[in-house]
Amino acid sequence: MRNPVQTLVATIIVSLMIIGSLNLISFAQASDSTSENVPAPQISESHIYNKQEMNGNTAQANYDNEAWGITIDQGDMNMLISARNYSNPNGVYVDYGMNFMFSIGGKNYIAMFTIGQVLFKIGNETVIVPLKNCDGFQVTYSPVIYDGTIPTLECNITYKNIRIYADSPDSTFDLSVINHIRGDWNQTSIKVETLLNFGKMNLSQYAPGESFTAEIHYIMQLTDPDMKNGSPPDFNTIKPSNYTDSNLEYNMTKDDGSPYTLSKLDMNDSFTICNASGAYPAMGYSCIDPPSNSGSLVQYNPNSRVVTHGFPNLIYKDTLSMKSDPEITVYHDRVTNQSDASTLWMPIIAIGAIVAILAIVSVVLLKKRKKKTG
């Protein structure tokens, strides 16, 4: 026969084992963070109409006629992927935008990536097609799925029925921007897959079989909110440290003189063409220039860069669609676990259970609450 003390000790041990099996107390912790799951991001969606953007200068501020976006929060990092129909004193615009706010070396930065137009070259004609020629846009996103220890998700934005000629609703195409996002401990990679669908293209002045080229123009810039370089549009924008026709880098130096990379854009010139027979690979081209060389593009600040991604050898009435995939990588401070009410309460629940065990000499079974994902 066990005495009451032995019974009490045995009961506490069994109870602690039960609590441990429910993950309320961690008996062992992995020493190597690479074997741990990176904290999952929190996802939220917004869809607003008729709202003034606040930038300190109401006379020059954008007015959002419609803005639809996905916000992705992971620790101290925040990403906004959006489609906007907005107006300002210069006119009405539609664009795709990605703003990534992050910290590296304890300092805050914002990486910006924008698409505002598509360009076609066919015969002797060059046609600039702004996204504002679309009938509207739609945003969708996937749940977070882990690839090993790394959370991934997908956010898609489709611009519907973009008129090649502003006054001709009978000749249109669709543009989808598919964002594949991987959030690792110290870097986040975004594959920006662009899909052009030509099924509704009607260029009656050209015969079927005519070869044409499509170009997508991007604007990329990196800003330091604490930097003061004068007045807009060039204030607080960091000049790239290096760029080629397919690569753009921002390299900085820490206080101790050691270098580190903030952000990087890699253009992949291979792309896929689809026609009635199926899909086949093709090779395109890319170039990166200061905005002064961009010609028709809206004049962004001089430290931004204009990225041209070109897709030649498309065949009118034969090419149904084409797909490309540049990649943006942002390097940041280590991701930390986000504050979560269920996590914060776990130690308190465990302590409360032990107190209850000591008081009534019984086994307390606790059911772990399942955490919802965004």
DSSP annotation string for 319-367: --EEEE--EEEEE-SPP-PPP-HHHHHHHHHHHHHHHHHHHH------P
Under a CB-based contact definition with an 8 Å cutoff, are residues 295 and 153 in contact?
Answer: no
- 75-108 residue pLDDT tens: 888 999 999 999 988 899 999 999 999 998 888 9
pLDDT computed for residue 249 by the predictor: 93
Asked if 373 and 42 count as a contact pair (C-beta separation under 8 A), the reply is no
Note the pLDDT of residue 232: 58
How much is the average pLDDT of 206-232?
Answer: 87
Summarised one tens digit per residue, pLDDT across range 254-275 is 778 888 889 999 999 999 999 9
- Least Cα distance to 153 among 165, 140, 163 occurs for 140
Distances (CA, A) of 143 to 40, 178, 181, 369: 11, 14, 12, 20
Cβ(320)–Cβ(197) below 8 Å:
yes
CA 184 to centroid of chain Cα atoms = 13
Percentage of the residues of the chain whose pLDDT score is greater than 90: 57
Instruction: Confirm whether pTM is higher than 0.85.
Output: no
pLDDT class for 370, splitting at 50, 70, 90? very low
The vertex-91 CA angle with 88 and 95, nearest 5°, equals: 85
How far from 210 is each of 128, 163, 213, 318, CA to CA, in Å? 18, 19, 10, 9
Residue 284 per-residue DSSP state: -
Alpha helices in the chain (DSSP H): 4-21, 341-360
**Which residues on neighbouring strands pair with residue 71, listed in sequence order?**
44, 80
Specify the DSSP class assigned to residue 371.
Answer: P
pLDDT score of 56? 52
Are 311 and 268 contacting, i.e. CB atoms less than 8 angstroms apart?
Answer: no
Calculate the average pLDDT of the chain.
Answer: 80
Name 351's Cβ contacts closer than 8 Å, sequence gap at least 6: none
If you count them, how many residues does the chain have?
A: 374
**Residue with tokens 């249109």, as numbered in its chain:** 172
- Mean pLDDT over 40-53 rounds to 94
Q: Which residues of 282-292 are buried (b: 16+ CB within 10 A; e: fewer)?
A: bebebbbeebe
* pLDDT of 17 higher than 70: no
